Amino acid sequence: MKIFLLLATTLLMALLPAQQKQPIKVYLIGDSTISIKETKAYPETGWGMPFVHFFDSSVTVDNRAKNGRSTRTFIEEGLWQPVAENLQAGDYVFIQFGHNDEVETKKSYTPQVQYRANLARFVHETRKKKAIPVLITPAARRQFDEAGKIVGTHDTYSAIVREVAKKHKVPLIDLDKKSQELLQQFGVETSKHLFLQLEAGEHPNYPDGKDDNTHFSELGARKMAQLVLAEVKSQQLELADRIVKK
């Protein structure tokens, strides 16, 4: 009888659907390279948009990223506080800033010392709630030299993210490095398909065309999301067990 009960229990556990797992949220905080876009911006797509489709029903992806935000403005505008207050044990916070922090001419500019401190704050306050922070270096811009070699445009600020991850022993997804490798594989011309590159008259939202080497097309967003997902798997984060098997 004991053997029968053990076998029955094992079978039942194996058959439990995804919704029986402890529900968790994955919060995405960052800038326009991740954020949800309005219809008027289409085909511009943040990589957080396709990212929601990778997981089973036990996972809710809550994309809080906003266009134009840096670590500093995300905090100052009160965008971080609701995330910190609502975190539950086992939730994740994916943290990717840098595009707007590093540009001194932008109102969102964040000096390096403050950028480092803000990242550490996100990590500390996430862990305080027994949630899991994941630091992500900013996605690469499409910039090549005359020889067709990809040029890094986030070197200083990406290095800070790596330093903070190492110091605080935080999982790191080096999206800057991975996306540079991807762009190099695509090459100077083909990589245009990953970004918001449109000819005049090609799309009604951009009648004059668009030459944008920072923001992604639908294809580009999906490729970036896949890079992030691949790192979730390779680093064997618990979240990887909730990826939809296709």
User: 4 in a domain, yes or no?
Assistant: no
Q: Determine if the pTM surpasses 0.85.
A: yes
How far, rounded to the nearest angstrom, does the alpha carbon of residue 189 sit from its chain's CA centroid?
A: 25
- Is the residue at 228 inside a domain? yes
Q: Give the C-alpha separation, 156 to 222, whole Å.
A: 26
CATH value at residue 151:
3.40.50.1110
Does any domain span residue 227?
A: yes
The answer to whether residue 13 sits within a structural domain is no
In a domain, residue 41? The reply is yes
How far apart (Å, rounded) are the C-alpha atoms in residues 103 and 71? 13
Q: Measured between alpha carbons, how far is 37 from 44 in angstroms, rounded to an integer?
A: 7
Q: Report the alpha-carbon distance of residue 159 to residue 229 in Å, rounded.
A: 21
Nearest of 63, 31, 38, 67 to residue 50 by alpha carbon? 63
User: What pLDDT, on the 0 to 100 scale, is given for residue 246?
Assistant: 55
Please give the pLDDT value at position 6. 42
Residue 22: half-sphere exposure toward Cβ, Cα within 13 Å: 8
Q: Do the domain assignments include residue 108?
A: yes
What does each of the 246 residues of the chain score in pLDDT, given as a tens digit? 444 444 444 444 444 454 478 899 999 999 999 999 999 999 999 999 999 999 999 999 999 999 999 999 999 999 999 999 999 999 999 999 999 999 999 999 999 999 999 999 999 999 999 999 999 999 999 999 999 999 999 999 999 999 999 999 999 999 999 999 999 999 999 999 999 999 999 999 999 999 999 999 999 999 999 999 999 999 999 999 999 975
Helix (H) or strand (E) holding 63: strand 59-63
Alpha-helical regions (H) of the chain: 2-15, 48-51, 71-76, 80-86, 112-128, 155-168, 175-190, 218-234
pLDDT of residue 15: 47
- For residue 166, the enclosing domain spans 22-242
Taking Cα atoms as reference points, which of 60, 59, 67, 80 lies closest to residue 34?
Answer: 67
d(CA 161, CA 163): 5
Write out the two tokens for 19. Answer: 């919704």
Does 49 reside within a domain? yes
Residue where the block lists tokens 């008027």: 40
Among residues 121, 133, 37, the alpha carbon closest in space to that of 81 is found at 121
The verdict on residue 30 lying in a domain is: yes
Number of structural domains found in the chain: 1
Q: Round the CA-based radius of gyration of the chain to a whole number and report it.
A: 20
